[in-house]
Amino acid sequence: MALKTVNLKPKVGTELQAPREEFLSGEHGGKIRDLLEERAVLIIRGCNFNDEEQLQFARGLGDIQALGGKQIFKISLDPVANPGAAEYLKGSLLWHIDGAMDLVPSRGSILTARQLPATKEGNTETCNTYAAFQDMPLEEQKKLESLRVVHTMAASQRRTYPDATEEQKKDWERYEPKIHPLIWTHKSGRKSIVSGVSADYIEGMDIEEGRALLKKLDDFVTQDQYVYSHEWVLGDLLIWDNTVSLHRAAPYDPYCGRLMHRCTLIGEEAVA
Ligand SMILES: [Fe+2]
């Protein structure tokens, strides 16, 4: 059977429809990967995959990252349900790219909803920076393509912890800053914007001027027309392409019970 697709918004987000076993067999993997890069975020409603099925589906799209031997991670802001990781995940409420300080950021991630609050908070939001860049005037595109951005841990954290202690600040400094081109030209020819919360300043530009430009850019790419905000229903699956998008979780009460299971596809190309 063919894979059926329904675009959720004109410039971002597509729902995939096929029998459950076809998603698990990997037969639509190639098509899904292509769609992912173009549409930035894909949804399968109500597939109710368990961990093993989620991994099986993911293997049809690429290699899976294992950290500490684990391929499935629990995403919850609740420090009791998710000891050790809840603090770190607070940063996920701001627009960002995963692994922005890596040479090869992850290709994407796959989330399944396992517990949801009755309050309907905590949408997962993705903006398509490939589509946003395409919509910019040529002259503006050219200007942006010449810029390089310094990504730092301090930039990633300071908005979440405006009253950080000296100890916290020292800890952020331990991470080596990473310089990326502002515009990522992919092997496929697509161009996307590498910005978000980790983008601290623009190389060779006055710091405040560079930050103002980065803010303007993030405001542009997160306009409603480029953003798909997924209101979760239990059993849904969402995939975002980390290489052509920014993403965030809309704010939610850490104790509301929201729990996602996530696996991550290993990155395939360096930012260039
Ligand atoms: Fe993230």
Cα(185) to centroid(ligand 1), Å? 21
User: What is the average per-residue pLDDT within 203-222?
Assistant: 98
Average pLDDT, whole number, for the chain? 95
User: What is the average per-residue pLDDT within 145-167?
Assistant: 95
Short-list 57, 98, 126, 84, CA closest to 198? 98
Cα(139) to centroid(ligand 1), Å? 31
Cα(49) to centroid(ligand 1), Å? 21
Cα(69) to centroid(ligand 1), Å? 20
- pLDDT over threshold 90, residue 80: no
User: What is the average per-residue pLDDT within 234-256?
Assistant: 95
What is the spatial distance between Cα 96 and Cα 49, in angstroms, rounded to a whole number?
26
Tell me how long the chain is.
272
The token pair at 186 is: 């992919």
What is the spatial distance between Cα 227 and Cα 246, in angstroms, rounded to a whole number?
9
Cα(187) to centroid(ligand 1), Å? 23
Cα(203) to centroid(ligand 1), Å? 25
Cα(122) to centroid(ligand 1), Å? 13
Structure confidence at residue 131 (pLDDT): 98
Which pLDDT tens digit goes with each residue over 32-46? 999 999 999 999 999
User: What is the average per-residue pLDDT within 176-200?
Assistant: 97
- The percent of residues above 70 in pLDDT, for the chain, comes to 100
CA angle, 237 as apex, 5 and 49 as ends, to 5°? 115
The token pair at 26 is: 């990997």
Question: Which residues lie closer than 8 Å to 129 by C-beta, 6 or more apart?
Answer: 40, 192, 193, 195, 221, 226, 244, 245, 246
DSSP 8-state assignment for residue 8: S
The token pair at 154 is: 């301090």
Cα(212) to centroid(ligand 1), Å? 23
- pLDDT over threshold 90, residue 243: yes
- Using a 10 angstrom Cβ sphere, with 0-12 exposed, 13-18 middle and 19 or more buried, the burial of residue 30 is exposed
User: What is the average per-residue pLDDT within 172-179?
Assistant: 96
What is the spatial distance between Cα 120 and Cα 180, in angstroms, rounded to a whole number?
36
- The percent of residues above 90 in pLDDT, for the chain, comes to 87
Cα(1) to centroid(ligand 1), Å? 33
Model confidence, pTM:
0.95
What is the spatial distance between Cα 230 and Cα 228, in angstroms, rounded to a whole number?
6
Structure confidence at residue 178 (pLDDT): 97
Structure confidence at residue 111 (pLDDT): 98
Cα(99) to centroid(ligand 1), Å? 8
pLDDT confidence bin for 240, thresholds 50/70/90: very high
Cα(2) to centroid(ligand 1), Å? 31
Structure confidence at residue 208 (pLDDT): 98
- pLDDT over threshold 90, residue 1: no
Structure confidence at residue 52 (pLDDT): 98
Distances, alpha carbon 138 to alpha carbons 2, 129, 144, 189, in Å? 37, 15, 10, 16
